[in-house]
Chains A and B, each alone.
Chain A
Amino acid sequence: MTLWLYLHFKHLQLDSLALSDNPDPVVIVDGHSNRVVQLCKLAKQSGITVGMGLASAASLSERLQVIAYDEQAEEVRLQEVTQWLYLVTADISLFPPNGILLKVSNMLSLYQGLSAYWHHIQTHLSHLGLDYHYATGYSAQAARLLAKGGTDIITDDASLLQSSMNDFNLSQTDLSERICEQLRRVRITKLSQLLCIPVSELAKRFEIELVHYVGQLQGQLKYPLIFYVPEEQFSRHLTLLFELENLQWLTKPITKLLEQLELFLQQRNKLAQQVSLMLQLRDAEPVSIQVGSTVGESRAHTWLSLLELKLSNMSLDAPIQAITLSAEYLVDNQCVNNDLFQIQQDKSARPTLIAKLQAKLGKRSVQGVEIDSDHRPERAFHFVEPLHAHTQPVRIKGLQRPSMLLPKVAPLQEKVTIYFGPERICTGWWDNQAVTRDYYIARSELGKWLWIFKEPSQQWFVQGVFC
């Protein structure tokens, strides 16, 4: 029979709130029933218990912080935990909002025994700082039942598992209230009593739902499971405990997410080329910012410095409530060997520099250039993103060209002396931008070297300056 391990996270939402330096007690309250569902240690010390009404909880502690229970947030967090666990174990199935089922049998030959396997899982999970109950079982349902009941048992001894299950009340199982009531009428209140009855007998007297449940609990019937497949993209959401008005205070939460990104990328041996940060604001449209690095980057501090540069140019209309960090365009990590001793210019520093400049100044302020095969000076090249140039037109020797062009051709309005020319450029008849120009090099009276041209209409213009 297959052995399963179920992990039940008691207060997943609370654990994800990053409460380590929060001096006030925090409780999470279900919005529908108005009852406390999760509470921190401080709240427990002040006498609050799970299931207590909000009013009585508030009366027990004056500094109580109340947060609404968010099932969606728990599910997202559960996904992250699964992703983390996937690094050490293969078959994982999710039980939203707060349970994870692991298939143990397949992993035993790798870890050589259940205790070693469990040790690995435990140390791996300890990085996340979550509180959870656990139990093994020879069926998914059995493991789930034991874990939810807080049994905390790790064994492959079937009889021991069976005996620890016997003490459970029927109300602790997943059976519906109606079936429990029916069973209570025939004086069946404990699970042990129910399991004594053969399944065929049960089928005669009770509904099929009960038969299914008992069959699944004992491993006679299969429980339908969908196994987890890891995602290809990185995206993490973090709800801030306080609304932030100062962008500089964002550094800490962003660092937390970036460290997760770094780990995500390292484990896949990938680099991210673009990271986008979404800031959710109070009563305003969310703001999204992107920073990029052309070769890709995985280190958290590099991304942080880029994001900080970008944030330093921004101003917000409303306080930030939550942030989402996602990485796009993942590429494989290719290692480059650099010289250890010589601090010299190297090409690998280029993308980092460009990413930094673009983050602060904007993409349009930092440009590279692409050369075109055209004789018209204004069409002989165009600006592109740095490091994106590919063409290699044939180089022409002996051209007389200025080093600086005027942004716009201007009429000649000063006295000049011509020293060189003419050089005729007559082209472009095929694309309706025809030019017929005679170019000269001239010197103005102030000593400025100009590149001027004459059109067939005998008008003179300045196009460039020999800086």
Chain B
Amino acid sequence: MSKIIDLLQHRQWVWQGSSQAHQLPERVSTGISLLDIKLQGGLPKRGMVEVQADNGIGELQIWLPYLQQHQHLIVFINPPGCVNAHHFYHLGFDHKQLMFINTNAEVDALWAAEQCLKSSACSVVLLWQSALSIAQAKRLQLASEQGGCTLFLYRPKCVQQFSLPVALCLQLTGHSHGIAVQIKKQRGGWPQKSFMLSLADYWPQLVAEQGEASNVTVFPTPIRYAK
């Protein structure tokens, strides 16, 4: 019996709360106080953060204060559009820090992510990739620990997904008040129920129901064009 437990532990298929409780990984503040409280101080300093979210709800915006703390390269791999470097620059980012990688094959994207993580030249790597096997995720996790770099993995929200061996898994849902955040998994902590993150203080223009809702115009019929 104990053999099986040993095997499971060895393969990191189970982890024991007692062994992890004391060595809580180092945390880096996200720059958003509510998120910091919920995440026990912020994001893990190294490792993989999985973000499950639909495109366009502010899933990248909420990490901008966090990204801004870093001194080294921030690498975007296969972003869903053209990253607006202009926006980043005027927020105070150093544009020499930004690097963009677009690959044709997903395998190349994973390779590039691994190289960036290992290189110790990058602070944060953001990877948009829908399919990832557990072995690949483990490999990226190890690479990120080796290079002292954080990986953000963006995946679309999907009900049936394998839980990946990541340091933190968040699910973001767009909401009229802000973003609903659900901590699905965190190393050294319990999963938590969804809570509302109001962005009124950080991104006031991205909050639907503000005090002055009077200037909101609803378009009854969008205008369509022949292409």
A: residues with CB less than 8 A from B are 343-347, 349-350, 352-354, 356-357, 360-361, 365-371, 377, 380-381, 383, 386-387, 389, 393, 395-397, 399-407, 411-420, 441, 443-444, 446-450, 458-460, 464-467
Complex interface: stretch among B3-11, B12-20, B84-92, B131-139 = B84-92
Interface residues of B in 173-202 (CB under 8 A from A): 173-176
Determine if B89 and A381 form an interchain contact, defined as CB atoms under 8 angstroms apart: yes
Closest 7 CB pairs of A and B: A447-B174, A448-B56, A349-B121, A380-B86, A401-B87, A404-B81, A353-B119
**Which residues on the B side are within 8 Å of A443 (C-beta)?**
208
Is B59 on the interface with A (CB-CB < 8 A)?
yes
Determine if A458 and B71 form an interchain contact, defined as CB atoms under 8 angstroms apart: no
Determine if B55 and A357 form an interchain contact, defined as CB atoms under 8 angstroms apart: no
A345-B222 contact, Cβ under 8 Å, with A361-B101, A395-B92, A404-B79: no
B: residues with CB less than 8 A from A are 54-61, 64, 71-73, 79-90, 92, 95-96, 98-103, 108, 111-112, 115-116, 119-123, 147-149, 173-176, 205-208, 216-219, 221-225, 227
- Can you give 27 contacting A-B residue pairs, CB < 8 Å? A343-B120, A343-B148, A345-B147, A345-B149, A349-B120, A361-B101, A367-B100, A368-B95, A368-B98, A371-B89, A381-B89, A386-B99, A393-B89, A399-B90, A402-B87, A403-B61, A404-B60, A405-B84, A411-B224, A412-B222, A415-B219, A418-B219, A419-B216, A443-B208, A448-B56, A464-B84, A465-B80
**Which residues on the A side are within 8 Å of B111 (C-beta)?**
360
**Which residues on the B side are within 8 Å of A395 (C-beta)?**
89-90, 92
Determine if A357 and B101 form an interchain contact, defined as CB atoms under 8 angstroms apart: yes
Determine if B81 and A467 form an interchain contact, defined as CB atoms under 8 angstroms apart: yes
**Which residues on the B side are within 8 Å of A460 (C-beta)?**
222-223
Determine if B55 and A467 form an interchain contact, defined as CB atoms under 8 angstroms apart: yes
A368-B112 contact, Cβ under 8 Å, with A407-B82, A449-B58: no
Q: When the two chains form the complex, which single residue of A360, A397, A405, A449 contacts B81, counting CB atoms closer than 8 Å? A: A405
**Which residues on the A side are within 8 Å of B95 (C-beta)?**
368-371, 381, 389
Smallest beta-carbon distance A347→chain B, Å: 7
Nearest opposing residue in chain A for B57, CB measure: A447
A383 CA to B82 CA, complexed, in Å: 10
A257 CA to B55 CA, complexed, in Å: 50
A460 CA to B111 CA, complexed, in Å: 40
Determine if A406 and B82 form an interchain contact, defined as CB atoms under 8 angstroms apart: yes
Nearest opposing residue in chain A for B226, CB measure: A411
The dominant DSSP class at the A interface is mixed
Nearest opposing residue in chain B for A366, CB measure: B101
Nearest opposing residue in chain A for B173, CB measure: A447
**Which residues on the B side are within 8 Å of A399 (C-beta)?**
87, 90
Determine if B86 and A401 form an interchain contact, defined as CB atoms under 8 angstroms apart: yes
Besides A356-B115, A407-B81, A417-B219, 11 other A-B contacts (C-beta < 8 A): A345-B121, A350-B121, A353-B115, A357-B115, A369-B98, A377-B84, A383-B100, A399-B87, A405-B84, A406-B82, A419-B208
Smallest beta-carbon distance B224→chain A, Å: 6
Smallest beta-carbon distance B118→chain A, Å: 9
Smallest beta-carbon distance A257→chain B, Å: 25
Q: When the two chains form the complex, which single residue of B80, B85, B101, B219 contacts A381, counting CB atoms closer than 8 Å? A: B85
Determine if A404 and B82 form an interchain contact, defined as CB atoms under 8 angstroms apart: yes
A367 CA to B102 CA, complexed, in Å: 9
A420 CA to B203 CA, complexed, in Å: 12
Determine if A361 and B103 form an interchain contact, defined as CB atoms under 8 angstroms apart: yes
Determine if B121 and A352 form an interchain contact, defined as CB atoms under 8 angstroms apart: yes
Determine if B80 and A467 form an interchain contact, defined as CB atoms under 8 angstroms apart: yes
A368 CA to B76 CA, complexed, in Å: 10
Determine if B108 and A403 form an interchain contact, defined as CB atoms under 8 angstroms apart: no
Determine if A446 and B84 form an interchain contact, defined as CB atoms under 8 angstroms apart: no
Determine if A467 and B219 form an interchain contact, defined as CB atoms under 8 angstroms apart: no
A381 CA to B100 CA, complexed, in Å: 13
**Which residues on the A side are within 8 Å of B99 (C-beta)?**
354, 366-368, 386
A446 CA to B225 CA, complexed, in Å: 21
A352 CA to B119 CA, complexed, in Å: 8
Smallest beta-carbon distance B197→chain A, Å: 14
Determine if B122 and A345 form an interchain contact, defined as CB atoms under 8 angstroms apart: yes
**Which residues on the A side are within 8 Å of B120 (C-beta)?**
343-346, 349
A397 CA to B91 CA, complexed, in Å: 7
Smallest beta-carbon distance B198→chain A, Å: 15
**Which residues on the A side are within 8 Å of B219 (C-beta)?**
415-418
A347-B225 contact, Cβ under 8 Å, with A371-B85, A403-B84, A448-B54: no
A387 CA to B87 CA, complexed, in Å: 19
A347 CA to B208 CA, complexed, in Å: 41
**Which residues on the A side are within 8 Å of B176 (C-beta)?**
447
Nearest opposing residue in chain A for B88, CB measure: A403
A403 CA to B79 CA, complexed, in Å: 11
Determine if B222 and A415 form an interchain contact, defined as CB atoms under 8 angstroms apart: yes
Smallest beta-carbon distance B203→chain A, Å: 8
Determine if B89 and A365 form an interchain contact, defined as CB atoms under 8 angstroms apart: no
Smallest beta-carbon distance A305→chain B, Å: 11
A310 CA to B218 CA, complexed, in Å: 54
A365-B208 contact, Cβ under 8 Å, with A345-B148, A449-B57: no
Nearest opposing residue in chain B for A411, CB measure: B225
A403 CA to B86 CA, complexed, in Å: 9
Nearest opposing residue in chain A for B149, CB measure: A345
Determine if A419 and B205 form an interchain contact, defined as CB atoms under 8 angstroms apart: yes
Nearest opposing residue in chain A for B97, CB measure: A368
**Which residues on the B side are within 8 Å of A420 (C-beta)?**
205
**Which residues on the A side are within 8 Å of B57 (C-beta)?**
447-449
Determine if B223 and A404 form an interchain contact, defined as CB atoms under 8 angstroms apart: no
**Which residues on the A side are within 8 Å of B100 (C-beta)?**
366-369, 383
Nearest opposing residue in chain B for A379, CB measure: B86
A417-B216 contact, Cβ under 8 Å, with A343-B120, A360-B108, A449-B56: yes
**Which residues on the A side are within 8 Å of B223 (C-beta)?**
412, 458-460
Determine if B85 and A369 form an interchain contact, defined as CB atoms under 8 angstroms apart: yes
A345-B61 contact, Cβ under 8 Å, with A401-B86, A447-B175: no
Determine if B61 and A417 form an interchain contact, defined as CB atoms under 8 angstroms apart: no
Smallest beta-carbon distance A244→chain B, Å: 26
Smallest beta-carbon distance B152→chain A, Å: 12
Smallest beta-carbon distance A403→chain B, Å: 5
Nearest opposing residue in chain A for B104, CB measure: A365
Determine if A347 and B72 form an interchain contact, defined as CB atoms under 8 angstroms apart: yes
